[in-house]
Amino acid sequence: MNWTFVRREWGAVTFVLTVIVGMVVVPLALYFTNQGPSPVPITGTPTPTVSSARASGASP
């Protein structure tokens, strides 16, 4: 490897290395995040909405 080129183009080399590391780390993080037998937690408890027919303010 030509170290003069790396020293001169360190920004581009750093960018390429960052992209390569990201291509490995992101899929691994997604894979390990979705592991486990536990169900997906639901935040809060769903409450049923009950609506009744009401008359409007105007009377017929």
Q: Domains of the chain: which residue ranges? A: 3-33
Please, what is the Cα angle at 24 between 22 and 27, to 5 degrees? 95
Tens digit of each residue's pLDDT (9 = 90 or more) over 3-39? 888 788 889 889 999 999 999 999 999 888 877 776 6
Position 54 confidence tier, pLDDT thresholds 50, 70, 90 = low
pLDDT band (50, 70, 90) for residue 46: low
pTM comes to: 0.49
